[in-house]
Amino acid sequence: MQYYAINTQQVTWEITDGEAVIIHFETSAYYGLNASGTYAWLRLAEGPVAADELAEKIALRYGKVRDSVAADVDGFLQTAIREDLVILAPGNGAASPNVAETSSLAGGYEAPRLTKFGELEKLILSGE
């Protein structure tokens, strides 16, 4: 089974207004996650997790069946890997402490989505 983890060597992140904002150190690209993407990110922050386990957690969170969200989770993870935000990791089999739940993550299910906004350096230099 393949496990996934946040690439803590290359990214920093925080939750702002209930959504994760991620910055990649090397590329200075910054990203936003929708509510279900933020929930997935928080689960990844707990430690390495398999795609099917992540899909199960998201399905339970949003009252869905795991199979109905599995493809969405796989797509989210593959995009995050391509952007170097998530890495393949060895599974440790031990549960990590839970990251605090955020009530602002409530709402209907939509596929976890990662949106790339560009390079933070260009945004700062443009004065926007």
pLDDT score for 7 = 97
Residue 21, class by beta-carbon neighbours within 10 Å (0-12 exposed, 13-18 middle, 19+ buried)?
middle
- Pick 58 or 91 by higher pLDDT: 58
Give the domain range for residue 58.
3-126
User: What distance in Å separates the CA atoms of residue 18 and residue 35, rounded to the nearest whole number?
Assistant: 7
Model-wide pTM > 0.85: no
Number of domains in the chain: 1
